[in-house]
């Protein structure tokens, strides 16, 4: 991509064919490369760096912990940072007050599924094993989390080596052109879960997993309000656990501590990651109420736990991140800046007719690109519209996020999700560069 790519170690391999410039340092919502270019991070990396880069208090807390110990195996010792972080998280999570730490998002999802399964066995329901998921969706790249990921591009290659779980359509109700109101469509999508449960045999279904606000596969997908409560009712009707994957939507991202907090949906188990480590450390967690955890502990304990679970350095960073989020009132800032972001993106939609939808909550927002905003017909995949927008923005020093998914009905999306410390001027700067990038792509593709 430029001369700096010569510095790239030749034994690394990545998904991207592009050679990227070498990063030098990062601060706030900016990163600088070795050749002195500045990038504004409009997507918090992969929607992870909620606190922004190089927060001095977090770095200080990590240094302090490093001087004490970076590791003490959890089966040999308790450690204070893990205890304190669990207490601080539990205070924010209310009834979901039993916490288990892991090292990332995929593992968090896997551990949620394993806890659910062990709960079923412990409560005399060993016939329950299916976890219904949504198509499209993203829950991770390890086999257990991939099995509930609704993306044929990822599962097709690996399906012989795992049991891909049943899916229901993700609630892309905003696309449907019918005589139903949006709320009626929300109920319709939720009722598809009940139909799937009945088709599978309710006694075989263990859980339903969903991202309360869809992320990597759907681009800030918010279901109609009616969807959330109905999903809870259906799960209750059949004794099925509701797992919320809050890896992307959690930790203040959407203007509430959890994405699901915008509705009254009371999940049984949640996964967290991204924001709790905020790019400082690999960290994830599951949280569940005592009524789920107790039978599992009574039966001999949770059969999960990797070497780095509850690592003291990771947890010390996690604790400082939560404290900084509180001190800087970042959940509130995410709500306020999110409103501004959606308003500004709405302005772009007026300028560019190929923006079919602007959506999201707080600082988890997206635009969807379509051939026709009346019919919501997607643009041809061969245009690679989302990648072109990402590239044009990157050339202009703005980082955005998108993925292509196989399955589902939606078109290309581009997510805008800067760190929660973003200011109003920075939101406007991000949207202005995005506007220039869209202009360039419109010329290139003659949209
Ligand atoms: N779950 C959701 C909702 C995600 O968005 C992601 C990552 O994008 C994951 C799970 C997997 O997290 P990780 O990449 O940390 O394994």
Question: Within 6 Å (CB) of ligand 1, which residues are found?
Answer: 46, 104-106, 109, 138-140, 211, 215-216, 245, 247-248, 273
Give the per-residue pLDDT at 185.
Answer: 97
3.40.640.10, 3.40.50.720, 3.40.50.150, 3.90.25.10: CATH of 58-327: 3.40.640.10
Top mutation candidate among 215, 258, 278, 403 for ligand 1, by most atoms within 8 Å of CB:
215
On the question of pLDDT at 9 being above 90, the answer is no
**Atom 10 in ligand 1: residue holding the nearest Cα:** 139
Residue with tokens 């993306």: 151
Rounded distance, CA 284 to CA 163, Å?
24
Location of each CATH 3.40.640.10 domain in the chain: 58-327
- What pTM was estimated for this model as a whole? 0.96
CA 43 centroid distance within chain:
12
User: pLDDT digit string (tens) for 58-87?
Assistant: 999 999 999 999 999 999 999 999 999 999
Give the per-residue pLDDT at 7.
Answer: 54
- 106 CA distance to ligand 1 centroid (A)? 6
Determine which of 15-24, 238-247, 316-325 has the lowest per-residue pLDDT on average: 15-24
- 99 CA distance to ligand 1 centroid (A)? 18
Give the per-residue pLDDT at 396.
Answer: 98
- 243 CA distance to ligand 1 centroid (A)? 14
Location of each CATH 3.90.1150.10 domain in the chain: 3-54+329-445
362, 47 Cβ separation under 8 angstroms: no
Determine which of 11-15, 110-114, 156-160, 387-391 has the lowest per-residue pLDDT on average: 11-15
Give the per-residue pLDDT at 15.
Answer: 64
- 93 CA distance to ligand 1 centroid (A)? 20
- 405 CA distance to ligand 1 centroid (A)? 15
On the question of pLDDT at 1 being above 80, the answer is no
Instruction: Quickly name the fold that domain 3-54+329-445 has.
Output: 3.90.1150
Top mutation candidate among 44, 140, 283 for ligand 1, by most atoms within 8 Å of CB:
140
CA distances 251 to 52, 87, 256, 319, Å, are 13, 15, 8, 12
- 139 CA distance to ligand 1 centroid (A)? 5
Top mutation candidate among 103, 136, 214, 216 for ligand 1, by most atoms within 8 Å of CB:
216
The angle, 0 to 180 degrees and rounded to 10, between the axes of the packed helices 182-200 and 225-237 is 20
- Tell me the average pLDDT across 142-171: 95
Top mutation candidate among 260, 273, 285, 314 for ligand 1, by most atoms within 8 Å of CB:
273
Average pLDDT over the chain reads 95
Three-state SS sequence of 93-127 = HCCCCEEEEECCHHHHHHHHHHHHHHHHHHCCCCC
User: pLDDT digit string (tens) for 273-297?
Assistant: 999 999 999 999 999 999 999 999 9
Which atom belonging to ligand 1 lies closest to the Cα atom of 249? 3
Within 8 A by CB and 6+ apart from 186, the residues are 171, 173, 223, 224, 225, 226, 227, 230
Q: In the chain, what's the furthest Cα-to-Cα distance?
A: 64
- Closest-CA residue to 308 (of 62, 73, 88): 73
- 313 CA distance to ligand 1 centroid (A)? 21
């Amino acid at each position: 991509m430029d001369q700096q790519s010569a510095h790239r170690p030749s034994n690394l391999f990545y998904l991207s064919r592009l050679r990227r410039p070498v990063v030098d340092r990062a601060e706030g919502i900016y990163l600088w490369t070795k050749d002195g270019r500045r990038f504004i991070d409009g997507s918090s990396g992969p929607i992870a760096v909620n606190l922004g880069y190089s927060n001095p208090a977090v770095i200080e807390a990590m240094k302090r912990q490093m001087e004490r110990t970076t590791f003490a195996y959890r089966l040999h010792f308790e450690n204070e940072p893990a205890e304190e972080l669990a207490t601080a998280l539990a205070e924010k999570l209310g009834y979901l007050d039993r916490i288990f730490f892991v090292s990332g998002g995929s593992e968090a999802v896997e551990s949620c599924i394993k806890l659910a399964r062990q709960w079923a066995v412990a409560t005399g329901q060993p016939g329950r094993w299916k976890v219904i998921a949504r198509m499209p969706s993203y829950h991770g790249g390890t086999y257990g989390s991939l099995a509930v990921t609704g993306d044929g591009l990822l599962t097709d290659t690996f399906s012989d080596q795992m049991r891909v779980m049943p899916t229901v359509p993700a609630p892309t109700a905003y696309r449907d052109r019918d005589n139903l109101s949006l709320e009626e469509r929300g109920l319709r999508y939720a009722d598809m879960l009940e139909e799937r449960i009945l088709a599978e045999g309710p006694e075989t279904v263990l859980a339903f997993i969903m991202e309360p606000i869809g992320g990597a596969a759907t681009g800030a997908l918010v279901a109609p309000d009616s969807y959330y409560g109905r999903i809870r009712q259906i799960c209750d009707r059949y004794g099925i656990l509701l797992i919320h994957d809050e890896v992307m939507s959690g930790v203040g991202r959407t203007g509430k501590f959890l994405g699901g907090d915008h509705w009254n949906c009371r999940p049984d188990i949640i996964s967290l990651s991204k924001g709790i480590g905020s790019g400082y450390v690999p960290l994830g967690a599951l949280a569940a109420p005592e009524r789920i955890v107790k039978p599992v502990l009574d039966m001999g304990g949770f059969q999960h736990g990797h070497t780095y679970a509850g690592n003291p350095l990771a947890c010390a960073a996690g604790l400082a991140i939560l404290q900084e989020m509180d001190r800087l009132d970042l959940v509130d800032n995410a709500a306020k800046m999110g409103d501004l972001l959606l308003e500004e993106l709405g302005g772009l939609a007026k300028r560019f007719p190929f923006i079919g939808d602007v959506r999201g909550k707080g600082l988890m927002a997206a635009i969807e690109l379509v051939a026709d905003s009346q019919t919501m017909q997607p643009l041809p995949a061969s245009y690679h519209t989302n990648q072109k927008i990402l590239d044009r923005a990157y050339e202009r020093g703005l980082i955005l996020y998108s993925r292509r998914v196989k399955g589902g009905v939606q078109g290309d999306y581009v997510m805008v999700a800067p760190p929660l410390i973003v200011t109003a001027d920075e939101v406007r700067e991000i949207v202005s560069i995005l506007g220039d990038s869209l202009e360039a792509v419109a010329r290139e593709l003659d949209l």
